[in-house]
Amino acid sequence: MNSKKNSVINSTFDFKYLSKPSPHVVAGPDANSIGRASKEIKTIFRRGRLKCTPQRLAVLDILQKSMKHLSITEVYKGVKKILPRTGLATIYRALEALEKLGLVVRVHLEDSCQSYVVAPSGHQHPIVCLECNRVVDFAECPIEDISRGLSRKTGFMIQQHFLQLFGRCRECRTL
C-alpha cells in the first residue's frame, strides 16, 4: 500500500496499530459516527469504485479501534452492537471490499481460520503463534530479492506476494 494512502488512513482514523496484540478490544463506534466518513476515506472508496456504506465504515472502525487481529465473528459481534440488522454475509462482503481497497489485511491462522486487522503502514508480513494465535508483524522482506530474480528468470512481472510465518511465541514456549 502506498505511503500517501497510509497517511490519509492514519490521519482520518488516528490508528494506533500495535505489533503485540492485546486480548481486549476497544469499544466500538457509535451509530452516529459511522455515517460521517472523511473526504479522504470517501475518495478511497470512489477510486476503488465501491460505495462507502455504513456497514463497511463500521467494520473499518471496529478493526481500527481493536488492539488485536479480529476474527470474522468478532467483527460481526462488534458491528451488530451498532448496526443490529447487519447480517454475517454483509460482514464477509465488507471485509472483502476493504481488503480490495488495501484498508485491511487478512491473516491466515493455522486452523484455517482467518483474522483481519487494519493495514499496517509500510510493507509487513505476519508471524502467527501456533498456540495462542498471537500475530506479530515484521518488516524485513526476503521475498523482494527473490521476486526480482524470478522476474528476470521467468519473464513474469511480479506485482505482489504473500509471506506468512508460523511458530511459537516467547510466552507459549515458556509454558
Q: How far apart are CA 102 and CA 48, in angstroms?
A: 10
Question: 92-137, pLDDT tens digit by residue?
Answer: 999 999 999 988 888 887 666 788 888 776 677 888 888 887 778 7
CB atoms within 10 A of CB 124: 17
Residues 6+ apart with CB under 8 A from 135: 21, 68, 69, 107, 115, 117, 126, 127, 128, 129
Would the CATH topology of 3-118 be identical to that of 125-173?
A: no
Q: How far apart are CA 94 and CA 39, in angstroms?
A: 19
Q: Do 122 and 101 meet the contact criterion of CB atoms below 8 Å apart?
A: no
Segment holding 165, helix H or strand E: strand 165-167
Question: 58-92, pLDDT tens digit by residue?
Answer: 999 999 888 778 899 999 999 999 999 999 999 99
Q: How far apart are CA 115 and CA 1, in angstroms?
A: 19
Q: How far apart are CA 175 and CA 49, in angstroms?
A: 49
Q: How far apart are CA 62 and CA 118, in angstroms?
A: 9
Domain range list for the chain: 3-118, 125-173
User: 3-118 domain in CATH 1.10.357.10?
Assistant: no
The answer, as to whether pTM is greater than 0.85, is: no
Any idea which architecture 125-173 has in CATH?
2-Layer Sandwich (3.30)
**Please, what is the angle between helix 54-65 and helix 88-100, to 10°?**
80
Question: 5-21, pLDDT tens digit by residue?
Answer: 444 444 343 333 323 33
